[in-house]
Structure 1
Amino acid sequence: MEKIMSHAGFRNDDAEHNHSSDDSEKDDLPRTSEEVRRHDAETLTAEEDAERLLVGGSNAQPSQSGWKLRKEQKSRRSKRRRDGQEPEKRKLIYDTEEGGLRESSVESSSDYEEKDALQQTKSVKRSSKRRTICGFAVVHVVIVLAFLALLYGAWRASHTQRHPETNAADSTIPAEDEEKEQELPIGTTYKPQAMFNGTHTFDPTTILISLDGFRADFLQRHISPTLTAFVQIGVSPRYMLPSFPSLTFPNHFTLVTGLHPESHGVVGNTFWDPETEREFYYTDPERSMQPEWWQAEPLWVTAENAGRKTAVHMWPGSEVKGGADAVGAAYVDHYNGNEHLDNKVSRILGWLDLPAASERLPNGNTRPQLIAAYVPNVDVDGHKYGPNSTYIRSTIMEVDGMLNSLFEGLEKRNLTNIVNIVIVSDHGMSTTSVKRLIQIEDLVDTSLIEHTDGWPLYGLRPYDHSPSKLQEIYQGLIAKSKLPKYEHTFDVYLRDEDMPARYHFASSTRIAPLWIVPKAGWAIVTKEEFDIAGGAQEVYHPRGLHGYDNQHPLMRAIFVAKGPAFPHLPGSEVEPFQNTEVYNIVCDSLGIEPVPNNGTLRLPLKTSGVHDPDRLIETPEDLQDDPSLALPPEVANLAYGHGGVRPSSEPPVVPNLANRPDFMVPTAGIPPVETAISEPEKEAPQPVKPTETSEPARPVVHDGLDDDEKSGSINRWWEWVNGKIDAIKGWASNMLGKGDTKDDGGGDGES
């Protein structure tokens, strides 16, 4: 037993010695993992042998207390193993700092992975930060661009006068839409439909208004705000070309037939028909208002034949007895050159107030779907005072005021977007002068001429109809045109030889065989009318003329349209066209099929973009070299009042020098317009009767903007800009506020 214990004690002493030795060497020399495992295995074997001997020999089973003892010893051995690894781990960390990492070490591999993950996390954070900064920069760039766009829109708006019915949304066109054409498919046909205005149903309805003598560049004079605003919300070309000759009767019949004058038969204001040997003279209704002269179907006849009721107010040619082909408009107003503009507005609105055919009362009138109205005022005063006179500016303002009253009436009836409105003119006008007159007797022997047609251009019909005599006169005129005295003053054409094809003025025997066509601004006169040699100090009348080359800039007319038949962008522009296109356009707006004509355009119109308010519009040269062009004396403004304010007295009576003098009865069925008097007890002054030596008093309208108007315009512009700046500031604040909220919440999302 002692031997056994002695042997066991030796083993224990040896284990303790080894353990003590291990402890002493622990701080001096680190052991390898293999040495640690070998030492633990030897110690465990010795302890188990000793335990078996104590309990009962080599075959004895370990007791429960011996099992617990071994468990505690194992726990102590695990602790010693962990303590023995510390030096090795410190050595691994040192090797790592020196750049030498052992690939077989588990600790070194784990450390490397942790470092790589840390670097990837830092990279992701840097990338997220860059994205946040870029997003923030993009938001600021968008804000700056939007602000600049608003400033540009403000600048454009300051150059555009708006109709009082429109607002900024109606007239400001987004930049991306400036080059956009209409969205209707090419090749489609407009199909008009009945529309409801809130109280009544309106069948497709079109109002056609002609402003006689309204030259295209009159719109650039800043005295017609209503018409200018109408251009900005409608569709129009920069100008419309009249037909040749650029006279009232030929062009008004072209507008409603779509035919050139050579085709519809009215080739001038005066002309001779060799087949019937009768003369057409526009101032004599007994001769001119006969169906034989009007050889085409006008618009109101086409509409009536299609079942559309029509009304015509003073349109040249509408008073033909019995109507063309025995069909006339349902309502016809005879010409009255002195009719007040208010009556024209009342007449148009009165027709619109009639009940529809389905609402017709017994023996009552019904509403027309086509209304054509003629306004001669600008032409009349252009002839009398000249197209650049102060007087004509007042007349343009009066006519513009009439349009304003008409638009206000449509707005009150909620018809602004229900009815179509087409505004046209027939031609322009050029200023005349005693320095630009040609004596016909100096050009040709008038004793050889049987008939002269037209004016200011001259159509010659010699007594001798032989071709040889015609050639003789023609060659003589060509020779005269080349003289220094007449160079660049007139052209000479033979109808059947060298008449320009673009005139479309040859295919009718009503056209004289030989023509003298003066240049714009020049007039041909007889000695009976004006003796140039003896009347150099006199004033030549009329002071304004038309009838020249239809493509001359001074002869350009206007066309502006708006309504459900014209679903274009506000301010849409179409390429310039000739007035032969108007007939088709109006027919399409009513949904009726036009008869054959010279026009080619059909609805929907193909636009070329929108009008650029910054584009410089060419102002045609209209010579003003006659010092005798005195302006009327300055008086209180009698111009037609805007906003419903009527003048304090009727305008003075003016001699009618238009193509249609006052030779017909006043408009039937229209009561006179009562004129407001500023002082109830005071009678309105009587109109001034014109004489040969006195000129009627007219309002004086200056040609440019005075300082007050300029400053007012600038102030309005600046107020508009300030309003837009405040709006963009509010928008920017909201955007930045949303971005701050996201950042406060810890998000890295872009604004």
Structure 2
Amino acid sequence: MKRFCLLLLSLVTIPTFAFSQGTAESKEPIVILISLDGFRYDYVDRFQPENLRRFIAEGVEAESMMPSFPSKTFPNHYTIATGLKPEHHGLVDNSFYDPEKDLTYGIGKKELVQDGSWYGGTPLWVLAEQNDMVAASYFFVGSEADIQGIRPSYYYPYDGSVSNMTRVSEVFKWLELPEAERPRLITLYFSDMDDVGHAYGPSNDAMLEPRLRKLDHELGALFEGLKSYDLDINVIIVSDHGMTDIPVDNFLNLTILTKDVPGSVVNNGALAHVYLENKKDKRKVIKSLENAGFPVHITDVDHKENYQDLMYKDRIGDILIIPDMGYYLATGPAVTLTKRRAKSLGTTVFGEHGFSPAYKEMHAVFYANGPAFNSGLRIETFQNVHVYPMICKILGLPIPDSIDGKLEVLAPILKN
């Protein structure tokens, strides 16, 4: 394994002066926030990756981290970035309709993803830049948008083809900058476990383990490289959600289910939003959906206490269609394509997420290591909104009064 890490390190440039850099400078704390998309809470225990295990043993580990609902990529990354629940920061799903804009946001629509007017709250990099602190991002939801007219000093529009080691190499380059230009907040994102989890399901050890081993070696190269810097670097590793197995036969035809709905249906998977043309039709539509014989729950948002008095309530459908755990909503063409793909891969199961955080399979990870943290500590499950104020505390940033996260939840894992 050491030889593999040395090989990986040889692929990135670490100038020799990095070993002494910072000795004549003030050592203000630095935070590197790493997201491992789709990394389920139990993967480390199951596969025992060497570098992550060592990182955890020397730092802090949570039993799991509870995502916000829906347990999807965009809502939860942005919750971690803002300390707000999705219904408070505006990204209520991966896809949703905004009646004021008369537009449907979607994670594949680059012009909307980069439009800061879709994003509420104050993400960490915006807060940092507002307080004269340099921030950098090699991918994180929202970091390529001009939120409140601000982007990180250094950032890249998302490109999944960029290798993990290229991302790691750029982190080293940022850390080598002069103190005035060096970022004190860096975000980093890896999609490996989400990709393989979707393709084969989270129970397919034969496919998951090789991908996790590779990711672990790449993280190991990052960890080793960071030791070269005489800087107070704190590394926080999170994920946005977990994953569960969905049998191919449990993909539900959303097109058939909603064929008589007088309105539009946005999103699918573990949650579909129904935006009615006339809200007076709501009771009739709900009854029709409930009588369709599908294993789903139909929720009237106006009668759901959790959705009352919310800033972005209009972005949530008038009616929510939520399938039972183990089932997944897909349009008619998507159901057909899913079955064909399963047959070509010789599988009967895919991996999906988006379900209620009440299901442990949806839970994510939280690991932290660095001079700001206690060592060898394991804590109970907590909600992901609480990461934000903790990072603010480490960096000395003011904690906004309006966030959902509470500093006292994670304060005990910090030294002093």
TM-score norm. by structure 1 comes to 0.49
Q: Quickly say closer, same or farther: Cα 1:325–1:506, change in 2 above 3 A.
A: closer
**CA distance in 1 between partners of 2:37 and 2:327 (Å):** 21
Q: Deviations over 1:540-578 (max 9, x none)?
A: 899211111122111100111122222x2x221223111
Q: What count of residue pairs does the alignment treat as equivalent?
A: 391
- Pairs within 5 Å for 1:513-592: 513-531=318-336, 538=343, 543-566=350-373, 568=374, 570-592=375-397
1:268 is matched with which residue: 73, 89, 93? 93
Q: Does 1:384 align with 2:199?
A: yes
Q: Deviations over 1:175-208 (max 9, x none)?
A: xxxxxxxxxxxxxxxxxxxxx9646543221111
Q: Quickly say closer, same or farther: Cα 1:307–1:377, change in 2 above 3 A.
A: same
Counterpart of 2:10?
none
- Pairs within 5 Å for 1:96-135: none
Q: Give the partner amino acid of 2:242.
A: G
Residues 384 and 541, structure 1, Cα contact 8 Å, conserved in 2: no
Q: Give the partner amino acid of 1:207.
A: I
Q: Quickly say closer, same or farther: Cα 1:423–1:514, change in 2 above 3 A.
A: same
Q: Does 1:462 align with 2:276?
A: yes
Secondary structure in structure 2 of the residue aligned to 1:326: coil
Shift in Å, 1:606: 2.5
Q: Deviations over 1:421-468 (max 9, x none)?
A: 1110000111222221222245343453323235331111233x233x
Q: Quickly say closer, same or farther: Cα 1:444–1:603, change in 2 above 3 A.
A: closer
**CA distance in 2 between partners of 1:352 and 1:581 (Å):** 27
Q: Which moved more, 1:451-460 or 1:543-552?
A: 451-460
Counterpart of 2:304?
498
Shift in Å, 1:493: 0.9
Counterpart of 2:285?
473
Q: Deviations over 1:31-55 (max 9, x none)?
A: xxxxxxxxxxxxxxxxxxxxxxxxx
Q: Quickly say closer, same or farther: Cα 1:348–1:397, change in 2 above 3 A.
A: same
Q: Deviations over 1:202-230 (max 9, x none)?
A: 32211110001000011111342211222
Secondary structure in structure 2 of the residue aligned to 1:342: helix
Q: Quickly say closer, same or farther: Cα 1:514–1:598, change in 2 above 3 A.
A: same
Counterpart of 1:98?
none
Residues 268 and 331, structure 2, Cα contact 8 Å, conserved in 1: no
Q: Which moved more, 1:570-579 or 1:508-517?
A: 570-579
Q: Does 1:349 align with 2:155?
A: no
Shift in Å, 1:519: 2.7
1:228 is matched with which residue: 42, 53, 62? 53
Residues 234 and 562, structure 1, Cα contact 8 Å, conserved in 2: yes
Counterpart of 2:69?
244
Q: Quickly say closer, same or farther: Cα 1:603–1:198, change in 2 above 3 A.
A: farther
Shift in Å, 1:380: 1.7
Q: What is the alpha-carbon root mean square deviation over aligned residues?
A: 2.8
Shift in Å, 1:504: 10
Residues 432 and 542, structure 1, Cα contact 8 Å, conserved in 2: yes
Shift in Å, 1:502: 9.4
Q: Does 1:433 align with 2:247?
A: yes
Secondary structure in structure 1 of the residue aligned to 2:235: strand
Residues 237 and 367, structure 2, Cα contact 8 Å, conserved in 1: yes
Shift in Å, 1:384: 2.2
Q: Quickly say closer, same or farther: Cα 1:506–1:199, change in 2 above 3 A.
A: closer
Q: Which moved more, 1:264-273 or 1:572-581?
A: 572-581
Give ranges in structure 1 of 5+ residues lacking alignment: 1-164, 166-195, 358-365, 608-751
Q: Deviations over 1:377-418 (max 9, x none)?
A: 211222223223322222111111111001111123355xx2
Q: Quickly say closer, same or farther: Cα 1:406–1:232, change in 2 above 3 A.
A: same
Shift in Å, 1:602: 4.1
**CA distance in 1 between partners of 2:166 and 2:24 (Å):** 25
Residues 309 and 330, structure 1, Cα contact 8 Å, conserved in 2: yes
Q: Give the partner amino acid of 1:203.
A: E
TM-score norm. by structure 2 comes to 0.86
Residues 420 and 562, structure 1, Cα contact 8 Å, conserved in 2: yes
Secondary structure in structure 2 of the residue aligned to 1:412: coil
Query: Max radius of gyration: which structure?
Result: 1
Q: Percent identity?
A: 32
Q: Larger relative CO (CA 8 A, sep 6+): 1 or 2? A: 2
Q: Quickly say closer, same or farther: Cα 1:453–1:527, change in 2 above 3 A.
A: closer
